[in-house]
């Protein structure tokens, strides 16, 4: 398992939807990407969540744009006239993360597009596993492209890593924020999905995905990087083992809300 690495050659336009100022950029493979900057908002932790969430989604058969490492040269931001963007580019020199840009895609609207119960249950299960708080009616972080539903932006997931001290406790907690999930009403097949996804996500897969995280995103030295990588592995293993907790919470939230 590996990700391609591209070099950013042109900053096209900022995407002002979020506080992290992602941008559309062109790379040296002539493709356009949505570039997520290490120097923005939550920094490399958002990139780590994006990487783990995105690659887990892909392995589970969900649609997600290709993720690539995007290298940003030191000279890249010098000609940028916008000071805020220039500062962001300067703070993001080195390895960033990008998603292939889906040209012509439109934001998923639950009032327009109905999602079948199996797919909805798969997405809700995954978001509960990842503690992804950012898939609400206000901000669905899903796109319709060629009549298919695509997932984007897992940067707000795995929020335990903003406070490493109590990660074991957080791993077994129900995901109470599921009450605000845009697909909650349709997620009626969680028990079936739980069995199917647990047959796919094993320790080797989790270790293969976490091995993709660059050491420089994890800590200042190799020992810290190795320790934190292992925490991600153990958090996900523990969370999967206690998945009934978030399934029960989801079913309760749906019955209460609807």
For the chain, the first-to-last Cα distance in angstroms comes to 41
Domain boundaries of the chain, sorted by first residue: 5-100, 106-257
Summarised one tens digit per residue, pLDDT across range 35-92 is: 999 998 888 999 999 999 999 999 999 999 999 999 999 877 666 777 888 888 888 9
How far, in Å, CA of 258 to CA of 254, rounded? Answer: 6
How far, in Å, CA of 248 to CA of 23, rounded? Answer: 38
Distances in whole angstroms, Cα of residue 22 to Cα of each of 38, 47, 235: 10, 11, 28
Average pLDDT for residues 234-258, to the nearest whole number?
94
Identify the pLDDT of residue 258.
Answer: 58
- Most distant CA pair in the chain: distance in Å? 55
- What share of the chain in percent tops pLDDT 70? 96
Contact 141, 134 (CB under 8 A): yes
Give all strands of the β-sheet with 142-145 in edge-to-edge order: 106-107, 142-145, 148-151
Contact 149, 119 (CB under 8 A): yes
What global pTM score does this model have?
Answer: 0.94
Summarised one tens digit per residue, pLDDT across range 166-178 is: 999 999 999 999 9
| Residues in contact with 39: Cβ distance below 8 Å, sequence separation at least 6, in sequence order | 87, 88, 89, 90, 91, 92
Identify the pLDDT of residue 77.
Answer: 66
Q: Kindly indicate the confidence band of residue 14, based on its pLDDT and cuts at 50, 70 and 90.
A: confident
Summarised one tens digit per residue, pLDDT across range 177-203 is: 999 999 999 999 999 999 999 999 999
pLDDT at 18 over 60: no
Residue with tokens 């950012």: 134
Identify the pLDDT of residue 96.
Answer: 97
């Amino acid at each position: 398992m590996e990700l391609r690495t591209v070099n950013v050659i042109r900053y096209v336009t900022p995407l002002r939807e979020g506080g992290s100022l992602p941008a559309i950029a062109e790379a040296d493979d002539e493709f356009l990407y949505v570039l997520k900057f290490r120097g923005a908002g939550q920094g490399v932790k958002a990139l780590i969540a994006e990487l783990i969430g995105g690659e887990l989604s892909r392995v589970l058969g969900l649609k997600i744009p290709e993720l690539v490492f995007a290298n940003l040269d030191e000279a890249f931001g010098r000609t940028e006239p916008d000071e805020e963007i220039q500062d962001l580019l300067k703070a993001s020199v080195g390895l960033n993360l990008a998603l292939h840009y889906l040209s012509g895609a439109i934001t998923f609207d639950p009032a327009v597009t109905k999602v079948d119960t199996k797919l909805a249950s798969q997405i809700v299960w995954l978001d509960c596993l990842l503690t992804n708080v950012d898939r609400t009616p206000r901000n669905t972080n899903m796109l319709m492209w060629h009549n298919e539903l695509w997932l984007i932006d897992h940067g707000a997931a795995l929020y335990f890593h903003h406070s490493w001290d109590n990660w074991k406790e957080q791993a077994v907690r129900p995901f109470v924020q599921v009450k605000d999930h845009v697909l909650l009403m349709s997620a009626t097949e969680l028990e079936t999905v739980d069995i199917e996804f647990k047959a796919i996500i094993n320790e080797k897969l989790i270790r293969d995905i976490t091995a993709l995280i660059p050491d420089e995103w994890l800590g200042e030295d190799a020992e810290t990087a190795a320790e934190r990588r292992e925490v991600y592995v153990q958090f996900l293993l523990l969370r999967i083992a206690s998945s009934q907790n978030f399934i029960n919470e989801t079913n309760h939230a749906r019955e209460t809300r609807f």
